[in-house]
Structure 1
Amino acid sequence: MAAVGDRRDADEDEVRRFLTGLARGTAGALLFALPMLMTMEMWFLGLYINQSRLLLLCILNLPLLVLLARRIGFETVHTFSQALRDALTAYGLGIAVSAAILLLFGILNDQVTASNVVTKIALQSVPASIGALLGRSQLGQHSDAQDEEDGEYSGETGYLHELFMMMVGALFLSLNVAPTEEMILIAYKVTPYHVLALCLLSIAVMHGFVYALHFKGSHELREGQQWWHSLIRFTLPGYVIAIVISIYTLWTFERLDHTSLSQILNAAVILGVPASIGAASARLIL
């Protein structure tokens, strides 16, 4: 009987932890996606965005969520099936939160076709689903006994995992500003000197965030390690990732169509500023 009681208590504790994770995920989706849910350009994108590009973004978002869930799922994740479950849960939360907020704001009330409604919700669900998983990391208690026991949040990550987390951070923050008209306006106004200065500033900020400014969660150079080692190994690859993500998000939102190569590079570097900050921040908080 004692064994049955212990098993029942363990099941109840697992359910409680999962429900707590759902609540944190909902809060995270609201916290991280609300700026985009209240951005007019994101509403209008639902009317004319290329359907195949949006579908590709939604498809790519699922494996990204699976990999992210292995780090910060709704509960401690040990297997691929658990990570997939948490990823689908986060996607579902992103869809539900996006639909509810857009409906409450009256954005979906005057849509002519069901396709417009689905497109607007799908577009917003991508950042909302990422925010749902980020809520587990940022709104949870990292000192939970179970988390400590399982070694989660130990801060020890492999090189490829670090690059992946930088990609997530770059994607999430770039989604906030890529749809705006200001990105294209700035790209037309800047000179090559501005572009070069922005590149150097982005790299300096990335390196400073992670190594120089001693933020909570920042990385320290190993004893005897030269400063340029981390610059070449992490900061510069992270900046390249931020630029690639910037180009992809601008392409997805049709900001690069019918533009010259120089304007594409300008827009990528400009969007690379918030994307690089997002990449650096991801190394700190995830």
Structure 2
Amino acid sequence: MGALGITPLDEQIEKRDECDPAWKVEIRDLARGFAGALFVSLPLLYTMEMWQHGRELSGWTVIGFLVAGYFVNVGFCAYAGFRQTQWTSGYFWDAMTALGIGAVASVLTLTVAGIIDFSLSPEIMWKIVALESVPCGIGAAVARNQLGGGDSSRSDDSSPFSSDMSVFMGSLLGGVLFAYNIAPTMETVVITTKQDWWLALATVILSLAVTFVIVEIAKFVERDYTNRTIFTTPFIETVFSYAVALVVSFAFLFGFDYISWGDDPAIWVPRVVTAAYATALGGAAGRLVL
């Protein structure tokens, strides 16, 4: 195994017939890893048992999980990974980077969910984040194999839907799939008891930002806007898809009797917004697949 080297940020990285500066490739790779972290582990980030285990397990046990997760990531990075171009000398470093990506995804999600804040002791905070970082890191390490390596060119001719309709159907079908993992559980209700309106707003912003990063920056697939008449820009598509996520989340929470027509908006709005974080991720996945 060769030694790791440092690539200048302005060095051109060539793949097939494309050539991009190293900094752009790195951002795209990290975004892909971030997407993989959330796709795999979001149900665990929304699981009360994981929060409780983070409080109760000893620090050494959590460290043991981290060490085991790191070596699992080494194996995954050797066969999958999150980078557009694999460097055979970088599996061990990439495994550590995947854990770091998992930690970032965990901190962001757990913070807007109100699970971690400065009222907790530093020991409890790091144990909760570290425990969640293990599945998130594994998700980052297999990101390239989840939704493609970003080098496929999809033709709309292979889809039974128009380009605009594919955006809607992907948002709807993917959102329903992910909503089924979250909406039936009590976690959505528990999370909203820990949030204030600022955290609810932060959840909306994070939902929009994350789905934009997943679809437009991670570049799992190449996307063509020229044949569209409605969703002609990434911004329009992101906002519309989030609106679909809100509707789907409302329908699921209503169906599982977590909200009702007579509820005060102060009750049902935060619950819908919290569930829509997961639903929007599913919609992003659906748009990539369709």
Shorter-chain TM-score: what band? 0.3 to 0.5
Larger Rg: 1
TM-score relative to the length of structure 1:
0.44
- In terms of fraction of residues, the more helix-rich structure is 1
- In terms of fraction of residues, the more strand-rich structure is 2
